């Protein structure tokens, strides 16, 4: 049984808490239900959008089509080798519940990605990352359905074209594939990655160096640093950290001695977008019902009744001032609908 709902409210379905509607909405717990929903959309000539936990989306208007939310469950061990384990996970599983599952069994690789909101199905889309780890480090395969042909597709890690907050699903396969399952290869003898930010320091305070302690430390830091979407609407980092040529960075450094940076490659440097935004005076600024978070300049927030278009407008103003002051283009990480 599959129920396609009409004029469905999305306020509780996006972490910005934006009041938008979709013309049609369906939750599909199996691949055949997704196929049925796709046929329904083709028959009525409706555009299709996939929604996970709504934690990386900005609705600026109502959606005049069919939103499909894959709710496919299941975590299945498909290969159990002496040093590794391969798991196949349903797209509808909550990401952090899955990370908790892996850590509690001693399977390492995802502990640094603890407490990221959203569903497993969205994890390959922007190649989620935090504390020096990205989803691409453990994803070995993505299964899905092609929205146009309705045929099953499988992509290996390299076919996914993963990059910083990017994959083929944001490139040539944008809006083309519904991810149904993701395969992760995890380690039974994990080596910990703790060099990022103050992670090492927090782990020291919490005791033994295990994947469980890494998870606990990550959760502790994230709770201190990031606003909870249940308390104040937001979608995490609104912009990507820009990559600039080393020569551009050097010129910037001559002007701003303290500009923070990470080496991205031999020729490129990554600059924290939050620092650029803060330098332009945006940190903590309130514009109508939205604003820039007081502790995290990279996070735009909805103080209650903001419209998506207001937040988008604020994002454009921020992009403009960063460009005027630094000559750097900030790219949005959040998906604007």
Active site residues: 165, 237, 333
Answer yes or no: are the C-beta atoms of 226 and 206 closer than 8 Å. no
Of the candidates 91, 103, 252, 280, which one interacts with ligand FAD according to CB under 6 A?
Answer: 91
Q: Which is nearer to ligand FAD, 228 or 329 (CB)?
A: 228
Of the candidates 89, 179, 244, 306, which one interacts with ligand FAD according to CB under 6 A?
Answer: 179
Hey, which residues between 3 and 42 contact ligand FAD (CB under 6 A)? Answer: 15
Q: Is 56 one of the binding residues for ligand FAD (CB under 6 A)?
A: yes
Please count the residues of this chain forming the interface with ligand FAD, following the rule CB under 6 A.
33
Q: How far is the CB of 129 from ligand FAD (least distance, A)?
A: 5
- Beta-strand ranges (E) seen in the chain are 5-9, 21-28, 48-50, 57-58, 63-70, 75-80, 84-90, 129-130, 133-134, 139-146, 152-156, 177-187, 233-237, 243-245, 262-263, 268-270, 286-287, 290-292, 299-302, 335-336
SS3 per residue for 14-61: CCCCCCCEEEEEEEECCHHHHHHHHHHHHHCCCCEEECCCCCCEECCC
Cα–Cα distance for residue pair 61/285, rounded to 1 Å:
24
Q: Which is nearer to ligand FAD, 249 or 302 (CB)?
A: 302
Answer yes or no: are the C-beta atoms of 301 and 234 closer than 8 Å. yes
Hey, which residues between 271 and 330 contact ligand FAD (CB under 6 A)? Answer: none
Q: How far is the CB of 121 from ligand FAD (least distance, A)?
A: 3
Q: Is 182 one of the binding residues for ligand FAD (CB under 6 A)?
A: no
211 SS3 class? helix
Q: How far is the CB of 73 from ligand FAD (least distance, A)?
A: 13
Q: How far is the CB of 257 from ligand FAD (least distance, A)?
A: 29
Q: Is 54 one of the binding residues for ligand FAD (CB under 6 A)?
A: yes
Which of these segments, 29-37, 233-241, 289-297, 310-318, binds ligand FAD (CB under 6 A)? 233-241
Q: Which is nearer to ligand FAD, 126 or 194 (CB)?
A: 126
Q: How far is the CB of 148 from ligand FAD (least distance, A)?
A: 14
Q: Which is nearer to ligand FAD, 143 or 310 (CB)?
A: 143
Q: How far is the CB of 178 from ligand FAD (least distance, A)?
A: 5
Residue 123-142 contact track with ligand FAD, rule CB under 6 A, x = bound: x-xx-xxx------------
93 SS3 class? coil
Q: What is the DSSP string of 264-293?
A: -SSSEEE--HHHHHHHTT-TT-EETTEEE-
Q: What are phi and psi of 268, to 5 degrees?
A: -130, 150
Q: How far is the CB of 144 from ligand FAD (least distance, A)?
A: 6
Answer yes or no: are the C-beta atoms of 68 and 178 closer than 8 Å. yes
Answer yes or no: are the C-beta atoms of 298 and 273 closer than 8 Å. yes
Q: Which is nearer to ligand FAD, 252 or 301 (CB)?
A: 301
Of the candidates 116, 280, 290, 318, which one interacts with ligand FAD according to CB under 6 A?
Answer: 116
Answer yes or no: are the C-beta atoms of 112 and 130 closer than 8 Å. yes
Q: Is 242 one of the binding residues for ligand FAD (CB under 6 A)?
A: no
Hey, which residues between 246 and 275 contact ligand FAD (CB under 6 A)? Answer: none
Say how many C-beta atoms besides its own lie within 10 A of residue 127's C-beta.
21
Q: Name, in order, each residue with C-beta under 8 angstroms of 142's C-beta and a sequence gap of 6 or more.
A: 124, 154, 155, 160, 179, 181, 182, 183
Residues near ligand FAD (CB under 6 A) are: 15, 49-57, 70, 91, 116-119, 121-123, 125-126, 128-130, 177-179, 226, 229, 234-236, 335
């Amino acid at each position: 049984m599959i129920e396609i709902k009409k004029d469905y409210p999305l306020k509780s379905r996006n972490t910005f808490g934006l009041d938008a509607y979709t013309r049609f909405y369906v939750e599909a717990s199996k691949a055949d239900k997704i196929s049925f929903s796709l046929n329904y959309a083709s028959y009525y000539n409706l555009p299709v959008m996939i929604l996970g936990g709504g934690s990386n989306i900005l609705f600026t208007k109502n959606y005049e089509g069919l939103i499909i939310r894959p709710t496919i469950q299941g975590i299945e061990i498909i290969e159990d080798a002496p040093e590794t384990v391969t798991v196949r996970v349903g797209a509808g599983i909550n990401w952090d519940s899955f990370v908790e599952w892996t850590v509690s069994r001693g399977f390492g690789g995802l502990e640094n990605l603890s407490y990221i909101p959203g569903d497993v199905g969205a994890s390959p889309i922007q190649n989620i990352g935090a504390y020096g780890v990205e989803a691409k480090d453990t994803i070995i395969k993505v299964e899905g359905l092609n929205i146009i042909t309705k045929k099953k597709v499988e992509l290996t890690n390299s076919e996914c074209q993963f990059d910083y907050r990017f994959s083929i699903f944001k490139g040539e396969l944008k809006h083309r594939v519904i991810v149904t399952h993701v395969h992760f290869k995890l380690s039974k003898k994990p080596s910990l990655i703790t060099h990022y930010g103050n992670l090492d320091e927090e782990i020291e305070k919490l005791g033994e160096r295990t994947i469980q302690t890494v998870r606990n430390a990550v959760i502790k830091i994230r709770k201190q640093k990031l606003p909870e979407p249940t308390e104040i609407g937001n979608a995490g980092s609104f912009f990507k950290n820009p990559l600039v040529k080393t020569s551009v960075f050097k010129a910037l450094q001559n002007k701003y001695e303290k500009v923070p940076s990470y080496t991205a490659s031999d020729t490129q440097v990554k600059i924290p977008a939050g620092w650029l935004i803060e330098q332009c005076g945006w940190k903590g600024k309130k514009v109508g019902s939205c604003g820039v978070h007081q502790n995290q300049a990279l996070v735009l927030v909805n103080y209650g009744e903001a419209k998506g278009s207001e937040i988008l407008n604020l994002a454009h103003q921020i992009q403009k001032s960063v460009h005027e002051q630094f000559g750097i283009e900030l790219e949005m990480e959040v998906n604007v609908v």
